[in-house]
Structures are given as C-alpha cells and as structure tokens.
C-alpha cells in the first residue's frame, strides 16, 4: 500500500524471468513506495521459465503468460486486469509489447533504449494508445533528486547561458570477451537484439539523456568515433562523441564498456556563464555547485539548499543517509503512479517520455552514421 | 511478494503514525524485498492520528488499534493475525510493547536503543517469549554489505590482532535549540522519553554497536566525557569516550549532534597488526582495506573482492550502482524474515539481537556514570 | 649548493621581471634543490623594469641586461658566464632568445609552447647549438613522480595494449573578460603574442604532452572543435578534440578556460586491455591503478609500490607529506642539471625535449586547422 | 637571493648529516624562497660524517665543525659568521645547542619537540639570549596557508564560540618493529633520545600544537591512554587523549604510529556554535568550511575566499596548483627571515615560539602522567 493511502496500481511485467537483472530492479522499484502490486506477467517466452518465475513471484497461475500479446488481450478483458505493464526485455523486444499494451489501453513502463531500430521508434510514436494509456521510459538516472535539482538550477538561470557540457559513462565489465553464460553480455553485444548500437545504446543513451534532461539544450549535430576494442565484438564498446547544441553550447560524451577500473562512472558536468555543476552517479547524494569567483559548494540530497521543488520530490530520508540507484528508479515509478491516478501533474514534465525515447534512438543512429562517415557532423533525425 | 516465492509475513506496527520518521523507514524496509505486508497497527496513542494513519496505509478498519496491548491480544487471536510487529516508538515506549508481543508469541522488530532504562533492558531479557517468538534490534548500519565484509575480514584474520578502533558519528542537526514543532528533536532531548542518554543513546549506541559488530572485541571499560552544549539542553549532545577492550585493544568513540557541517558522518576505522579498514556511512558502497606495506585498496560493495559470503548477502545490484540506507535497513528485514520462516540459519549470527540491545544500554549507563565520575574508567554491566 | 656536493650551475633568465608569474616559478624551481644560482638576466625589455627586477633578485649591475642578444654575447664571453638560461617570456618571444643562446653554446630551459608559430618551431629544430648546448622544455607536469610511475607502468606492460586515453585540463579564470590589468590574461588572449592557439596552446599542449608522455602512443590524427565563448575573445577558450593514435587507441582531450568551478583540473586517465590508471594534478600525490577484476589501488607518491625507478626520481619526502607543483617543476630543473653536468644519463629519456615542443606546435596547428575545417580528421605535421 | 632583494641570511646547521631526514627538509625550506644561505655546520658528532656531509653541502672546510659549542663560539666571532642556526638533531640534543647559540647571539631555528625533558624546556625558557637572538620552533604544519586561514576564521568569530575540537595524526610506519638500519625509527623509539614520549612527542605534539594554533583555546586538563602495541617497544606508539579547554570546549586527540593504511593523516576539525572547519594535511590545499544550515564550502589555498590576510601569506602559486609540505616549511623560514631582518612584524604572531615548545613539553608530560594514573584528568604545567 502506498504511504499516501492510495490503492496500489495493478502491474504486469513482460520479461524479467529468473536470471534477468533489470526486471528484478523494476520490481523493487515498483514495490519500494508501495504504489504498485505485481499481479501478472509474461516473464519469459520459454514456458517453463515463465511458469517458475511466476510462481516465485507469487503470481496466480492464470496470470502467468508466455505470450505478451495474449497477456495484453486477457488482462485488458479482466475486471481486475493490470493497469500498467513494465517491459524489461532486450531492446528488440520493446516495440511489439509496447504497441500491444498501449493499444489495449494499458499504461506502459518501458526500459531504454526505446527500441532496437529507428523505424520501430517512429512507429511507436505514431501509435494511438487506447483509453489515454500513458508511457514512461525508465531513464532511471533522471530520478536522482540532485539531477532534478541540477535541472532546476539550469532552468532558474543560476548557471547563466550554458557553454560546455561534459558527460561520460565508463564501465569495464565488457573489457574482456564475456562468456556465453553471461546473459546480460550476450544480448547486449548481439546486433539482432540490441540494434545498431552497443555501448552507445546501453549506456551512451543514458549519458545523452541525462545531459539533455538537465540542460534542456537541443542537439544540432554529433561527431562520433565508435570502436569495438574487444576482438570479435560486433557492436561498439567505446564511444567518443563531440556535441553541438543549438545556441552555441558544445559538449563531449564518452561511454565505454572497456575502461578498466570503472564500474558505473556516469558523470555530468555543466558549465555556464555564471556557474558550474558536477555530479557523479556513484556517489549521487552530493553535487558540486560553483558560482564564478566563489568557493565550491557541496550540495547534498535534501540538504541545506534553497527552494528546489523538483529536487525535493523523491527525497525519502534525511541528508547524510544515502539513497541510491533503487530509490531513483522507484521515484520514477511512484511519480508515474501519481500521473496514472491523475494527481501527478507536477511530475509530468519530470518523467522521461516516449518522445525522449525517439530522440535517444535518433542519437544512436546519428552517432553510428557519423562514425561510419569519418566522424562527419551529423544532425539527429530524419 | 518476496522474490523467492515465499508468502509475505504479516506485519504490524506500533508507533509510526503521520509525521513520524523512523516508522516510515521501517515500512519501506519491510516492503523493499517483498518479505512483509503491513496489515495492522497501533500507529499512535491518539485515536484520531491512529485512525488517519491507518487509513493512509490501507489498513483494514478493524486492525487499526490505539492500544498496543489490545493489538497484541487481538492479533494473536486472529487466524490471519500478524506474525511480526515493528516497534518504532520513542525509547521509553519500547519495553512494554516488546514484552506484550513477545509474550503473545509474535516476533518483534524493535528500534534502538532497546529501552530507556537499564532495568527495562534487563527485564526484557528475562521475558519468556511464547511460541519461540524472535527479536530483531534494528541497528540498521549492520545491514550494509561492506560492514558485513569488514566483519568477515576481521574474523578471517586478515587484519591480524586488532589494536585500535576509531568510531565516530557526528551530526549537526541539534547544533541550535530545536523548536517545539520538531517532533524528532523534542523526544530525543527529553530524558523522560529518551532515558539517561541523549546523543549517546540516539547515535552513540549505533557507533558503539558497529565497532562491536565488526571487531567482535569485548569492552572492558569506558572513560567518558559527555556534554550538553546547547543552553538548556538536559541530555548530552556531544560524547567523547575512550574505550578499552579485552585483550588490549583500545578505541575512541565520538558522537555529536552539534558538529556543524556533519550530516550523518558515521565512520568506522579498525587497525590490526596486519591491515586496516576504513568505512564511512555517507558513501557506504566503498571501503578502504590496506595491508601493511601495500597500497590502499578500495573495496566496493559487491565488487572485485575475494570470497566474502557475508558481504554478498544483501547486495541487490551491481557495484557502481549505489545502494544506501534503506537497502541496508531492508536487508535486516528480509534476513529476519528468513529466520522467522526457518530458512535463515546463515543470517542468525549476522542480525542484531536483544542481547546486543542490553549491551547497548549497559554502554549508555557506563558512559553516563563515567562522565559523572570525572571520566573514571567504568566497566559495563552490573 | 646542491645536496650532492655539486657546484650550482650559473643561470640566466630572459623575461620574468617584476609582476611576471612563470619566471617566479622557474626561479623557485631552480633554487629548490640547490642546483642553480641565478646570476644574470634580461628580465624585461623595458630598461627600468629590468633594472629594478635585477636588483630585487640580487644580480650584479653588469649582469642586468635589457637585450637578450647582448646578454647571450656578453655571458658567453665571460669566464664566469651563465651556463644555462631560462626563457620565460610570452610565446612569441621564445624563438629568438632560444636561438641566440643555443648558438652561443648556452643550455636553454624554455617554457612551453615552444614557439608561437610552427615555422619558428621547425626553424628552432634546425639550429645547430654550439658546444653541445642542450634544451629543456618545461612541460612541468611530467616532473610529478606518479606521472613518471604511470609512464613506467605503461612501458612495463602492466596496462596491456592501450585502448582509451582521456585527458582534460579545465580552468575557469578566463570565464569572463579579463581586465587590462591582468597581464597573464592579456598576452594569452592576444594572437600576436600567443600564436594561433589560445587555451589549446596554454593548457591544451600540457594535456596533450602528458598523454603522449605517459602512453608513448603516436598520434595519427585529431578532430577538433574550438570555441571562443567570451564575447570579443580572439583565441579559443574551450577545446574539444578527439584523438586517434597509431595502433588503434582512441582518445579525447578537453581543455577549457571557461569551466566555472575548475581551477587547474588537469586529469589523465589511461585504459589498457589489462589495467587502468587515473591521476589528477590538483591532488598529485595519489594515483588510481586498477587491474581488471581486482580492487582499485591507490598508489601514493613514493609509497608502497613495486620497483618504479622512474617514479622514485624526484621524491623528496615520505608519502603522506604532499609535494606539489613546485617540486615537480624543480625536478625538471635538477635532473636537467645532472644532464648538463654529464651525470644524468638516466634522466635524458624523462625530460621533455625540443622535439616534444615541435610536436606540441604541430598539435596546435592540426587542431586549429581541423576546427576550421568542420572537425575533419587532420594528421600532425607538414 | 630572496625574491624581495634582501641579502640571504647566513645559516648554520647542527645535525642533518648524511642519512638524516629532517635536516634535508630544513635545507630545502631554507633555500626555497632564497632567504637563507647555508655556510656552516656541525652536521654530525662523528668527525668523518661531519666532514663528508659538509663537503657535499659545499661548506668551506673551516666552517665544518664536529662540536656545536665550538661552532657557536667560532661563528659568533667571525665577521661573516652565521646569523641563524637550524637545530635538527634528535630531541635530547636540542637543549644544549639551542642554549649555546642563543647565548652567542645567534638566532635559533629548532625542530620540535623543544627538548627531551620538561626541565630542559623550562631551563631553555629562562635563557637570556644575547643580542636579542630570536627563536623559531618548526611546527611546520602551521605554515600551511589554509591553517592560517582557519586560525583567522576562528579569530574573526566566523565559527562562533568553539565547542568541539577533533585532531588526529595517524601513521603506520612503526606498525612493525623497525630494524636497526632505520635511523629514523631507532632514536624515536629510544627514551634516552626522544624523552618520555614516543608517538606523543613525535606527532602528538604536532597535532596538539595545530589545535591550539588554530583555536587559540587554552587547555585545562588532559585524560590520556597511551600504549606501546609493538612488542618490546619502550615508548608509546598509540595515543588516545580527551581534552578539556578553558571556557568549556572539549576535544579528542589521536596519534598513532601503528594505524595500518595511514601515511601522515594529520587532520583537524573544529566545530563552533556557528560553523565548522575540516582540514587534512595529505591534501592541504583544500579546507571545508560550513556555516550552520548552509551547504559545505570547499575553500582552496589562495582561492575564491574573502579577505584572509594571514591565509594569503605563504601562497606562491595560483589555486589548483598544489603546494605542499616543503612550501609550508619554507614559509616558516622565510617569515622568520623577515622577523630577523626587522621587517616581519606581521609574522611574529604567526610563528611558533619557544613558549609553544614549552607548552608542547608540558602537554607530553601531562599526558604521560595521566596515562600512568589511569587516565586521570591532569592539568598542564607545574
């Protein structure tokens, strides 16, 4: 039960069977604030896995599906059917279920990137959801309170006109060839499941989305140099991109799965005419804020800071007691719950949308194209 | 529903009504892994608050109580009665409900310190729980995976014989007189509700427990100097203690509510003959481990480290993605759930017990006595 | 007097009069280890400033010059004439004195970048120094012991084949238009004195040199995007560059004088197949070294590390006692002194050379050209 | 030659022969700003070492002494005799030379602690220096610019009334028994050379002095627990002390030579009614300053901070370019040079004095006595 006395929203899940990672994360996120209750799932396309997974999660037998399309139909027909569904499959399996559930009038919570192809992304954008079904893209890092505060600082003009944006997301887990037993690695390095981008789709889009989310700047073009360093790898595992934004700001984006010593080193730095901000995901409860000519200030999540309405949303416990990745993820879930219930107007502008997902796909495609074209500056979109 | 297919344990709560802090934390902790479902509560002794709080939390009307004793009787009598209860009241209201529920055969999850008086603590220890009802003391910092790993490193002999233990817990939220509207401050600075200790009871016991939990050293005596710096304050807000352990190790403990600039700066440093470890709660996913004559190593939660069975328990997501205070708290809940279900033998030694609570009270009393006696070395206990 | 019983080398200085910054730094560096004694100078082209500056520095009247050419002639003719000269003028005044002193058989210590034009750089390379006069380019960051150790780690194969190099040097001191009274800013933003590059020449070359120094990788091409964000500024104040190295490694270089909140944030990160290193200049006594699949190690200057001959050179005091910028600078001076005396063979490969200076100029020119050519990949050199 | 046109002061040295550590540090410190020139020395009591050491340092043969008393006489008689002497011998050899040179009218720069016995300290205080000879005690950490600024912040009232002082100085270099070849360890662990204190004299006095220097608080009593953890060690290697200051402030001091993983972890934290400061010696160019209810500010050496006259003294290079231990040490030297020359009035209050040295000895004696007396609160002095 939610803390605010609201009935939990009935949730289904597509993907996320035994051994999956991100489905587990989505389930915790859905539970943490009590706003959702998982009641149905097409957790795997393999019947046995689906069944066992459903049992482990306490689903009723008749709500364990092996086919998402059937699930969409059946749940839409039930009086107590799911109101929302979380899609946590590999990229190439986002489009079809998203379409099915939206058209069935069921709200969709979809992992990123939006799809595996740009055509799918555009097609999804053109869908007509039934019953006003809504869409949430889980660019989960946008749920960190200090990222909300960073966005608000930019919006308020505290940084002045933005000049430089440095964003990076280095990891090292794919620095060597992953064995077949590594399910996470297997589909992420397979173009038929991931799409045209490897690191750029898996983590580069997170970095890109974060820069866009905080600064609000529109991208005019990218110049990219993508590499697959591990022998035999078919998709990029290191991404170097220069960014040009409308209005003249410039940026750099680095994403890597081969940066030995980096775990999930997502970092955003934004410099304007008047001030700069610096934030790291691996210690996300702190953010540097420096006004020109003044000492650096260490802002803390929910700490001693001036009126930041957006930042305050999603703070559960006092500053100095760390919240992390799961709380940020849960904030997306609970704020989307409010939107679904019709009492979350103040959150609508804060949650990543299908449109953000389309732009993420355009970013991937532009970067891949630029890299193939000797890093020529390439605009986003058709 | 728990991820492991187990039915959630039916949970009640005493205290934690609207406006309370730690009750809210307990509820999130109970939900996070899906191992508990809140179904009953004596959330406030004020009927109106109890009723409204119960409604907000979705409790059935007949399971909203204003009296914990009645709740214990009624729930014990129900077929679908609560199996466990969380006691989240101010210190002076721990003893009576803990006694009532244990004697009713209902498992107790109790916030720290155990009680407000040493006599209550001893009395609680002498209770005979019905039906093998178990007890968990929420020294929540023991739930951090790296604290588990630190404990295991000590146990394994990696540090050699321990020589020096430095532990501290500075805050600043009581650096000025708190207004009456601050409920958290009000009872914590009131001897009739907190007991004989202020900062020492609220945070000093956490620090002390953490040092004991990780090192396993037994305390032989303490030399304390307690102060109440804020004018008019009746309980200590700064705690300086020297520690002597059996076997010759020495320690220092500092707890403060007036250290301006500190949020929840709990820090533990342990130095042995062969190696040292250093850990901070405000960035809890990292721990320094240094073997003599070798470079410092930064261990990460669930990261590249050698076989640490204990440390691995409670890791939900990959290293580099931060977990925090709520996850550590939730780990106590979910491991206690396993103990309750009878499949948590490996957790029993890891969870803080009633006996730990008694020692915490003895620590408070010894420190208060030593301070009153010009810091004379004072042993714990009767 | 040097600590090793060697007679100090007689030193002259060109530039560095009252109010200059880098000349002062060179003088401290020359004194710190006792290997040099300043005895002559053409400290300013303005006679009055030269005279007063010389007096303040205790130079004999007849060794205070206003013209470097006369100084070269006169000192070369004296029995007790200077043996080496430090050239610390703005960039456009490096070439002529360097040529004059080298041809006079006097060793040259020259600030970076080598010259203000690429033609001057090539011309200087073609000079025939008299009497085997040697040349030191003060890329001072190469003097940090941990940079030496990083280089040795790469050379030893500890990192395996290098894949990714991330280097950056953000500052903020030119984030707003500097007033005329700021001598340091004035010439650095004036193309007639700095050359074709602004930030790229002043700090970008340091970053580039550091990456090259540590990795030994040869650059095949750069793709650059240079900006002058401050209105009216004629030279770049923000530099975005992608790097391609021979053998397939890739890199990014960011240099900025408008990154509000950054002081001298020079940072180098190198990732190879087997390990990664990360180092920051603002806390230069520490370096991260991580082998794949193992915990991060924090190496300390002169600390608990395995045989690093190069790293050990230049460590004066025990680890934990910080050395800084001036010590690194002094290390270049004292090791160059050893080279001059003929007993510094082990240092020769470690000191930045005229050839490094030529490459630095080629880097500036290639970046400027690439930026003018819409970031086309551009090789270095003619 | 000093940068300010002043003639260097002629300096002698007692101790500091080949293989010594602190003598080398003093020499660098004396050279760095050009204010001293080493011209004489009694570098060792062993004639051969003295001779070789003098030769290595370029001393004239007739100014290489083996006896400090003869040196005092001879140098005082020379027209070009030394004006100041640096005493860098083990503790038990401070008193006699200090007395000799002061009575010979030669300024004394003496390493800490002042002497090896309290009687020597008092006796030295009662000396009548000839010709107004002055005394500098090299509590070198007081030379760090941010320590000066911390002191000024306290003096200015920015922190309000001080409540709590936490100071510590952990090392690990004596965590195991040192071999005889370790000269530094040998005399420091020998009561006949160090005096009654081990760690407390070597590093505890530094920590104590720093706390006193910054806060200006007077100590009313100490409660100490000293240990020698390494088997066979005769002097303390771990120091736990509680401090009571006049006016009610309280403190803790920890010094250790057995804290594995700590190099020179000197740290000072001061908390007042209005603000707190936190500083670490191993990254000394940064200091936290937090006003109650406001974000933490990271002050940088010479950085964006409000009028701190004291802090500005001793800053040589721009913020972001680190200065370290040697620069702080050199600041004591150069400011003492100004005092000697009669133009350093503004430095007099900033430099550690003979009186500070007496108090340091009283601190050692009180702590040793308290520890022997079961940590009884013990006042300083006779």
Q: Which residues of C87-111 are buried (b: 16+ CB within 10 A; e: fewer)?
A: bbbbbbbbbbbbbbbbbbebbbbbb
Give the list of residues 6+ apart from residue A198 with CB closer than 8 angstroms, or none.
A188, A189, A228, A233, A234, A235, A236, A237, A257
| C-chain residues near A240 (CB < 8 A) | 242, 250-252
Packed helices D118-126 and D95-103: angle between N→C axes, nearest 10 degrees: 0
Q: Which element (helix H / strand E) includes B254?
A: strand B250-256
D106: nearest Cα among D27, D32, D10: D10
pLDDT digits (tens, 9 = 90+) for C329-340: 999 999 999 999
3-class SS at A364?
Answer: helix
B238 and D163: CB-CB below 8 Å? yes
Q: Assign D182 a pLDDT band (cuts: 50, 70, 90).
A: confident
CA distance C350 to chain B (A): 25
Cβ D352 vs Cβ D213: under 8 Å: yes
> Does domain C9-137 match CATH 3.40.50.720?
yes
A1 and B57: CB-CB below 8 Å? yes
How far is CA C200 from each of CA A17, B233, B316, C114, C212, rounded to the nearest angstrom? 52, 60, 45, 13, 15
- CB nearest A297 (choices: D293, D295, D305): D295
CA distance C170 to chain A (A): 11
* Averaged pLDDT for residues D261-278: 98
Give the list of residues 6+ apart from residue A34 with CB closer than 8 angstroms, or none.
A1, A2, A3, A8, B27, B31
Facing residues of D269 across strands?
A: D166, D278
The alpha carbon torsion through B38, B41, B46, B51 (nearest 10 deg) reads 60
Q: Which residue do the tokens 């240099």 mark?
A: C255
D258 and B163: CB-CB below 8 Å? yes
Q: Which residue do the tokens 């081969």 mark?
A: A258
Q: Which residue do the tokens 């509820």 mark?
A: B27
Give the list of residues 6+ apart from residue C101 with CB closer than 8 angstroms, or none.
C14, C68, C72, C85, C87, C107, C108, C133
Half-sphere exposure of B229 (CA within 13 A, CB side): 30
Cβ C204 vs Cβ C290: under 8 Å: no
D60: nearest Cα among D45, D89, D81, D77: D81
Facing residues of A107 across strands?
A: A84
* Averaged pLDDT for residues D68-82: 97
| D-chain residues near C202 (CB < 8 A) | none
Q: Which residues of B touch C (CB under 8 A)?
A: 289, 293-300, 303-305
Cβ D321 vs Cβ C325: under 8 Å: yes
D303 and A294: CB-CB below 8 Å? no
Q: Which own/partner contact pairs does A344-347 have at CB distance under 8 Å and 24+ positions apart?
A: A346/A309, A346/A313, A347/A313
C298 and B294: CB-CB below 8 Å? no
Chain B residue nearest residue A266, CA to CA: B320
pLDDT digits (tens, 9 = 90+) for C314-326: 789 999 999 999 9
Packed helices D354-372 and D205-215: angle between N→C axes, nearest 10 degrees: 120
pLDDT digits (tens, 9 = 90+) for C104-133: 999 999 999 999 999 999 999 999 999 999
pLDDT digits (tens, 9 = 90+) for B287-345: 999 999 999 999 999 876 654 555 566 789 999 999 999 999 999 999 999 999 999 99
Mean pLDDT over the full length of chain C = 94
- CB nearest C297 (choices: B293, B296, B303): B296
| Lowest mean pLDDT segment, chosen from B187-196, D89-98, D370-379 | B187-196
Domain ranges of chain C: 9-137, 144-317+354-372
The rounded distance, in Å, linking the Cα atoms of A117 and A96 is 12
Percentages (nearest 5) of helix, strand, coil residues in chain B:
40, 20, 40
The rounded distance, in Å, linking the Cα atoms of A175 and B268 is 34
- Partners for D (CB, 8 Å, 3+ pairs)? A, B, C
Q: Which residue do the tokens 């058209």 mark?
A: A103
ipTM of the modeled complex: 0.96
pTM attached to this predicted model: 0.97
The rounded distance, in Å, linking the Cα atoms of D40 and B379 is 59
- CB nearest D263 (choices: C33, C55, C303): C303
Residue B4 exposed, middle or buried by CB count within 10 Å (0-12, 13-18, 19+):
middle
Q: Which residues of C27-63 are buried (b: 16+ CB within 10 A; e: fewer)?
A: bbbbbbbbbbebbbbbbbeeeebbbbbbebbbbeeeb
* Averaged pLDDT for residues D144-172: 97
- CB nearest C55 (choices: D5, D173, D327): D5
Give the list of residues 6+ apart from residue A65 with CB closer than 8 angstroms, or none.
A40, A41, A42, A50, A71, A74
Q: What is the pLDDT of residue B20?
A: 86
B260 and D250: CB-CB below 8 Å? no
Q: Assign A169 a pLDDT band (cuts: 50, 70, 90).
A: very high
More reliable by pLDDT, B313 or C81: C81
How far is CA A43 from each of CA A8, A92, D209, rounded to the nearest angstrom? 21, 16, 66
Chain A residue nearest residue D301, CA to CA: A295
Phi (first) and psi of residue A108, to 5 degrees: -120, 130
| A-chain residues near B323 (CB < 8 A) | 324-326
pLDDT digits (tens, 9 = 90+) for C33-59: 999 999 999 999 899 999 999 999 999
* Structure tokens given for C331: 């290390």
Q: What angle do CA D167, D171, D177 make, to 5 degrees?
A: 140
The rounded distance, in Å, linking the Cα atoms of A367 and B8 is 47
A323 and B320: CB-CB below 8 Å? no
The alpha carbon torsion through A135, A140, A143, A145 (nearest 10 deg) reads -170
| D-chain residues near C327 (CB < 8 A) | 324, 326
pLDDT digits (tens, 9 = 90+) for C236-282: 999 999 999 999 999 999 999 999 999 999 999 999 999 999 999 99
* Structure tokens given for B73: 């009787």
Q: Assign B362 a pLDDT band (cuts: 50, 70, 90).
A: very high
Q: Assign A1 a pLDDT band (cuts: 50, 70, 90).
A: low
The rounded distance, in Å, linking the Cα atoms of C367 and C252 is 13
Q: Tell me whether strands C238-245 and C219-227 are parallel, antiparallel or unpaired.
A: antiparallel
* Structure tokens given for D371: 């520890």
Cβ B145 vs Cβ B301: under 8 Å: yes
CA distance C298 to chain A (A): 12
The rounded distance, in Å, linking the Cα atoms of A6 and A160 is 41
Chain C residue nearest residue D34, CA to CA: C31
| D-chain residues near C316 (CB < 8 A) | 24-25, 28, 326
* Structure tokens given for B74: 């009624």
* pLDDT higher than threshold 70 for residue A308: no
* pLDDT higher than threshold 90 for residue A306: no
* pLDDT higher than threshold 90 for residue B110: yes
Residue D230 has a CB neighbour count (10 Å cut-off) of 18
Q: Tell me whether strands D84-87 and C162-170 are parallel, antiparallel or unpaired.
A: unpaired
Q: What is the pLDDT of residue B183?
A: 78
Q: Which residue do the tokens 């889009």 mark?
A: A205
pLDDT digits (tens, 9 = 90+) for B14-30: 999 988 889 999 999 99
The rounded distance, in Å, linking the Cα atoms of A59 and A40 is 6
The rounded distance, in Å, linking the Cα atoms of A66 and A44 is 6
* Averaged pLDDT for residues D152-171: 97
| A-chain residues near B2 (CB < 8 A) | 58
Facing residues of C243 across strands?
A: C222, C251
Chain C residue nearest residue A224, CA to CA: C242
Half-sphere exposure of A350 (CA within 13 A, CB side): 32
* Averaged pLDDT for residues D223-239: 96
Q: Which residues of D162-181 are buried (b: 16+ CB within 10 A; e: fewer)?
A: bbbbbbbbbbbbbbeebeee
3-class SS at D65?
Answer: coil
Q: Assign C87 a pLDDT band (cuts: 50, 70, 90).
A: very high
- SS3 of D211-258: HHHHHCCCEEEEEEEEECCCCCCCCCCEEEEEEEECCCCEEEEEEECC
CA distance A289 to chain D (A): 10
- CB nearest D250 (choices: B227, B251, B274): B227
Q: What is the pLDDT of residue D307?
A: 46
* pLDDT higher than threshold 50 for residue D73: yes
Q: Which CATH class is domain D144-317+354-372?
A: alpha beta
How far is CA B53 from each of CA B60, B89, C117, D197, D343, rounded to the nearest angstrom? 11, 14, 76, 62, 73
* pLDDT higher than threshold 50 for residue C138: yes
- CB nearest A56 (choices: B5, B32, B326): B5
How far is CA B201 from each of CA A302, B367, C382, rounded to the nearest angstrom? 25, 10, 74
DSSP code at position D200? I
| D-chain residues near B248 (CB < 8 A) | 227, 229
Reported in sequence order, the residue ranges of chain D that DSSP labels E, i.e. its strands, are: 9-14, 36-42, 84-87, 107-110, 135-137, 162-170, 219-227, 238-245, 250-256, 267-272, 275-280, 286-291, 296-300
D298 and A299: CB-CB below 8 Å? no
| D-chain residues near A304 (CB < 8 A) | 293-295
């Amino acid at each position: 039960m939610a803390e605010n006395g609201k009935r939990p929203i009935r949730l289904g899940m597509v993907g996320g069977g035994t051994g999956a990672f991100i489905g587990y994360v989505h389930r915790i996120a859905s539970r943490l604030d009590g706003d959702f209750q998982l009641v149905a799932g097409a957790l795997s396309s393999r019947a046995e896995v689906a069944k066992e997974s459903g049992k482990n999660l306490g689903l009723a037998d008749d709500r364990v599906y092996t086919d998402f399309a059937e699930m969409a139909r059946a749940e839409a027909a039930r009086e107590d059917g799911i109101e929302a569904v979380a899609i946590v499959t590999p990229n190439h399996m986002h489009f079809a279920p998203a379409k099915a559930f939206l058209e069935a009038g069921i709200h969709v919570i979809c992992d990123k990137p939006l799809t595996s192809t740009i055509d799918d992304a555009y097609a999804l954008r053109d869908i007509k959801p039934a019953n006003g079904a809504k869409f949430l893209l889980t660019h989960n890092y946008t749920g960190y309170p200090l990222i909300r505060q960073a966005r608000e600082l930019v919006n308020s003009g505290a940084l002045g006109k933005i000049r430089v944006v440095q964003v990076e997301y280095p990891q090292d887990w794919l620095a060597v060839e992953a064995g077949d037993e590594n399910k996470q690695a297997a589909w992420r390095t397979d173009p038929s499941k991931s799409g045209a981008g490897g690191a750029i789709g898996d983590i580069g889009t997170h970095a890109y989305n974060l820069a866009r989310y905080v600064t609000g700047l529109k991208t005019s073009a990218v110049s990219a140099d993508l590499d697959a360093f591990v022998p035999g790898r078919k998709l990029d595992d290191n991404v170097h991109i220069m960014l040009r934004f409308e209005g003249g700001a410039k940026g750099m984006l680095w994403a890597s799965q081969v940066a030995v010593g980096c775990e999930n080193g997502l970092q955003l730095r934004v410099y304007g005419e008047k001030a700069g901000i610096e934030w790291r995901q691996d210690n996300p409860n702190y953010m540097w804020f420096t006004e020109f000519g003044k000492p650096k200030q260490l802002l803390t999540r929910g700490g001693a800071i001036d009126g930041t309405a957006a930042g305050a949303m999603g703070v559960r416990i006092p500053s100095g007691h760390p919240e992390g990745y799961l709380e940020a993820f849960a904030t997306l879930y609970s704020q989307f719950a409010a939107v679904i219930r019709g009492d979350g107007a103040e959150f609508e502008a804060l949650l990543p949308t299908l449109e953000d997902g389309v732009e993420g796909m355009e970013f991937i495609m532009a970067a891949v194209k630029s890299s193939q074209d000797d890093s020529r500056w390439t605009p986003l979109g058709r």
